[in-house]
Amino acid sequence: MRKPSGRAGSVRIKTGAVGNPPLIAAVITGGVNAGAIKKAASLGAGLLELRVDTFTATQPGRLLASFEKLKKITKLPILLTIRSTREGGQAEIPDRERADLYHALIPFADLVDIELSSSGIRKNVVNFAKRAKKRVIVSHHDFESTPGDKKLNKIIESARKAGGDIVKIASMVKTQDDLKRLAGLLCSDDNLIVIGMGPLGKPSRVFFPMLGSLITYGSITGSTAPGQMSLKEMQTELRRYGF
């Protein structure tokens, strides 16, 4: 099997300033599917988020073969995510196995996402990714509510201390005040991905990149969060505003 080359420098992430089209991650679930990958590219995805926790086959050997296949299908950068069930993951993968999967697959990735709450393996995964010269997203997901300002700022501070080059905050939006509070993070901090989940959070997926949120997400093979749009729907919305 060919040894994957490091491509950390190939991901160009810019803040959503006027004139910069938002960077959309096409969320790939179920496995590496050539049709889904090509569809993502044709719809303008800037990178692929491979949600390995949703894959039907998670044996290391089969995953390595899939990631090797992926390199032959596309040149899009890869965001590696093996989400814990505590924060929306679909498969109950023990932490030790999850860490082993990260170690095996990080060489194929450009970005790595690990939850702040994954304290048992987070330091190990972050350090391994840094040694491999990959950028790290330390993420926090709250599927029940949006925390207050004080807690949100504490989460961001903790995620940066944990080694996050980028901090991702995704929380359930129940009121317009929740949405405003999340937007406020982008007015006071940099290198953030901020997403409001649920029906009231949908506007955040289109407009927050224009405030500086680094990545927005669109599904290809299946939604992985409440309110997540398909990539096609996302592009339709963005075109309304000149992107």
From 141, 150, 151, 174, active-site residue: 141
What value, to the nearest 5°, has the Cα angle with vertex 150 and ends 154 and 113? 35
Domain-located, residue 9: no
- Rounded to 5°, the CA angle 113-187-164 comes to 20
The yes-or-no verdict on residue 102 having pLDDT over 70 is yes
The domain in which residue 96 lies consists of 24-236
- Position 241 confidence tier, pLDDT thresholds 50, 70, 90: confident
Candidates 168, 174, 180, 232; catalytic one: 168
20 has a pLDDT exceeding 70: no
Is the distance from CB of 19 to CB of 56 less than 8 angstroms?
Answer: no
Domain assignment present for residue 164? The answer is yes
* pLDDT for the residue 111: 97
Share of the chain above pLDDT 70, in %: 92
Would residue 119 count as lying in a domain? Answer: yes
Active site residue 202: no
Domain-embedded: residue 13: no
The CA distances from residue 208 to 12, 153, 160, 184, in Å, are: 18, 17, 20, 10
Q: Is the pLDDT of residue 2 over 80?
A: no
Q: Is the pLDDT of residue 159 over 80?
A: yes
| pLDDT tops 60 at residue 1 | no
The region, left, alpha or beta by phi > 0 then psi within -120 to 50, assigned to residue 27 is: beta
Higher pLDDT, 7 or 82: 82
> Is 169 a residue whose pLDDT tops 60?
yes
Over residues 26-52, the pLDDT tens digits come to 999 999 989 999 999 999 999 999 999
Query: Rounded to whole angstroms, how far apart are CA atoms 207 and 225?
Result: 18
Q: Sorting pLDDT into bands at 50, 70 and 90, what band is 3?
A: very low
What does the block give as tokens for 144? 């029940």
Residue at 241 is within a domain: no
Residue 2 belongs to some domain of the structure:
no
pTM reported for the whole predicted model = 0.91
- Give the pLDDT confidence score for residue 224 in this predicted structure: 79
Cα–Cα distance for residue pair 38/81, rounded to 1 Å? 20
Other Cβ atoms less than 10 A from the Cβ of 94: the count is 10
Residue 211 domain-assigned (yes or no)? yes
In the residue annotation, 14 being an active-site residue is answered as no
Whether 14 has a pLDDT exceeding 70, the answer reads no
Domain with 199 in it: what CATH number? 3.20.20.70
74 with 39: CB under 8 angstroms?
no
Q: How confident is the model at residue 4 (pLDDT cuts 50, 70, 90)?
A: very low
- Please give the pLDDT value at position 28: 93
Range scoring the smallest mean pLDDT among 141-145, 161-165, 207-211: 207-211
Q: How many domains does the chain have?
A: 1
Mean pLDDT of the chain: 90
List CB contacts of 32: < 8 A, sequence separation 6 or more.
50, 66, 67, 69, 70, 73
Between the alpha carbon of residue 98 and those of residues 52, 80, 130, 131, the distances in Å are: 10, 12, 17, 18
Residue 176 has pLDDT above 90, yes or no: yes
Asked if residue 174 has pLDDT above 70, the reply is yes
Instruction: Give the pLDDT score at 80.
Output: 97
Is 196 domain-assigned? yes
Read off the tokens for 27: 């969320």
